Chain A
């Protein structure tokens, strides 16, 4: 629901980092999105295409890594992903669990490019 605001913020961070590095363009933006971050990856990609146009990140590929929601059973220590609305630990009968991953939402890294530079060929390479 708040993907538009989130993408504006992502773009702000990405362009700032690229500019600080002295880069001319951004080729890849790596985003980590937890399954239960409440942010939809497809929606983020759509907004990113639109908002990045005309910026140094206009041709950037948005690589989204989804982190699945995982729980740890407080009884037996088993770590598992819930499936189809079943949150009970599959390894023990009387389970009680806590969420240990799946709420992440952060920019992991970006790949940037620098302006073409002309260099004299070294004599050794002739």
Chain B
């Protein structure tokens, strides 16, 4: 008698986040069928994501129908702010998790009538790392960065800044008080991500917000016609 021990290599090639990606693709199809342009808005806590959305909702009033999904670890403070500007909004509380995932968006859609919207902005949890990895079914990823964070953020968080279609640089009104080199920031971004459109804004004074809104409308129209 001889004893045989056999082994085998099995190819798998399966993404570890395949379950999230599959659900995100379902969401993307649903959004496309509804003619809805979806943005995944990411950035540090305090960068001004909600402030930008308040301004955006105001600017888009009467021009297109915009809805918001707010992602935070706790509280409905951000959703309350958006609601005061008259846009339909759903708050997700992740209860500690530092990013949104496709399953959370799937659940949040129960509270939104996507057929009544043209643009949906999903404000991710304030974080410059993990949100970049989780597909939410969006058409575009956008990052908000602000002057007090420092002009080195593009270099220090390449995962997120390499993945976005646009960057909104906020708090321009503080430029005179800070050593933020906008030229350097812009060059670093271009070198890393040639396709990212940079818009400098101040959500306090309103400077540049129209340019951001025009990018949003233009990209939404472009996406619908493609």
Binding site for B on A (CB under 8 A): 1-2, 6, 9-10, 13-14, 17-18, 21, 23, 27-28, 31, 36-39, 69, 71, 74, 82, 85, 87-89, 95-99, 102-103, 105-114, 116-121
Contacts and interface: CB of A to CB of B under 8 A. Distances in A.
Contact of A119 (B2, B11, B132): B2
A97 B154 CA distance: 13
Given A112-B8, A117-B4, A121-B1, A103 B130 contact: no
A17 B192 contact: no
B177 interface: no
Interface stretch (B62-70, B84-92, B108-116, B158-166): B158-166
Contacts of A119: 1-4
Nearest to A1: B130
27 contacts: A1-B98, A13-B12, A14-B12, A31-B16, A36-B159, A38-B130, A39-B16, A82-B158, A85-B155, A87-B188, A88-B191, A96-B194, A98-B195, A99-B163, A99-B192, A106-B14, A106-B15, A109-B11, A109-B12, A110-B9, A110-B12, A111-B9, A114-B5, A116-B5, A118-B4, A119-B1, A119-B3
Contacts of A21: 8, 10
Interface residues of B, number: 36
A65 B175 CA distance: 44
Contacts of B158: 36, 69, 82, 87, 99
B130 A2 contact: yes
B190 interface: yes
Given A109-B12, A113-B6, A103 B191 contact: no
Nearest to B158: A36
Interface string B173-196: 000000000000000101111110
Given A88-B191, A110-B9, A116 B4 contact: yes
Contacts of B15: 105-106
- 9 nearest A-B pairs in the assembled complex, by CB-CB distance: A96-B194, A99-B162, A87-B192, A36-B159, A74-B194, A88-B191, A106-B15, A113-B7, A87-B191
A99 B16 contact: no
A107 B162 CA distance: 23
Contact of B16 (A6, A87, A102, A109): A6
B7 A27 contact: yes
